[in-house]
Amino acid sequence: VIEELTSALVDLREDDALGLVDAMLAGGTDPLEIIEACRRGVEVIGKRFADGEAFIPELVMAGEIMRSITVKVKPRLKEAAPRAKLATIVVGTVQGDIHDIGKDIVVTMLDIAGFEVIDIGTDVPAAKFVDAARDHGASMIALSCLLTQAIASMKDTVEAVATAGLDGSVNVMVGGAPISALVCGHTGADGWGKDAVAAVELAKTWAEVR
Ligand code: B12
């Protein structure tokens, strides 16, 4: 059934995908397995896009199916989540970039790991990250980007956090396809992660240190 879900996503059969998710949740499948099966589907479409075999509408459609599935799965994930919040973390895709499929996975995973997550969306200017961190008393900020061009916005955001005097109390992590240790160093961020699991691990480390 797990493979069927991945294929339904790859073929963009939304009704089939949602039906499978309902059946799997009813049958007690681990919600994380469902998210992972969908992620593999989106990955296949991403590869087809890179090879010129899929186009923008397919990508948008895949994103929408992924979102509908996340809405269904989230309540189930929350049942298993710890009650006391570990820390508050502001998450968003930086200015100039609207990719949010990966960012949403990071949000979901942090949420179920027990973090209070403030999702401020996509194409977010540096000042908005600073305001959100201050307003919500966050101790961490996670920046996502998929465009090489948007790495500059990450650097700007890290600088804005320092200029606002929050660098002593707020840790910033960066992630997304173009991010590596080298790029992280260039942005001045405190850490980076290659996927949503790494985001949670890093956030947990930071939560314990504070
Ligand atoms: C889907 C997609 C789109 C969709 C986005 C839909 C949406 N709602 O997000 C649409 C069609 C809108 C789109 C638009 C564009 N796209 Co696009 N898109 C993709 C595609 C195919 C997949 C991205 C994706 O969702 N992957 C699946 C998710 C699950 O993976 P992920 O995002 O990498 O996230 C994981 C990790 O990176 C990590 N992670 C992510 N964020 C964070 C944050 C932290 C803190 C941490 C620790 C980890 C982390 O965890 C996630 C889960 O494991 C990629 C190609 C690819 N194979 O990556 C191109 C790609 C990113 N797009 C690209 C481009 C160029 C564009 C456009 C400029 C195209 C255009 N000419 O209009 C526009 C951008 C507009 C803008 N201003 O942003 C290029 C970028 C090239 C570059 N290096 O700069 C790529 C690489 C395609 C290519 N090969 O050319 N795109």
Q: What SS3 string covers 47-72?
A: HHHHCCCCCHHHHHHHHHHHHHHHHH
Residue 90 CB burial class (10 angstroms; 0-12, 13-18, ≥19)? buried
- Dihedral of CA atoms 97, 31, 110, 91 in degrees, nearest 10, equals 20
Residue nearest to atom 2 of ligand 1 (CA): 59
Query: Any idea which residue has 């090879």 for tokens?
Result: 51
Closest CA to 1 of 17, 11, 10: 17
Atom of ligand 1 nearest to the CA of 100: 9
Q: Who wins on pLDDT, 42 or 190?
A: 190
User: How many CB atoms sit inside 10 A of residue 125's CB?
Assistant: 16
Residue to probe by mutation, ligand 1, list 103, 111, 146, most atoms within 8 Å of CB: 146
Contact predicate 207/110, CB 8 Å: no
pTM: 0.85
Atom of ligand 1 nearest to the CA of 199: 47
Residue nearest to atom 65 of ligand 1 (CA): 147
Of the listed ranges 113-122, 128-137, 175-184, the one predicted with least confidence: 113-122
Q: What is the pLDDT of residues 27-79, one digit of tens each?
A: 999 888 998 898 889 889 888 988 999 888 888 899 889 889 988 988 887 77
Residue 63 CB burial class (10 angstroms; 0-12, 13-18, ≥19)? middle
Q: Residue 175 in 3-state DSSP?
A: strand
170 Cβ closer than 6 Å to some ligand 1 atom: no
Residue 93 has pLDDT above 70, yes or no: yes
C-alpha 88/C-alpha 32 separation (Å) is: 22
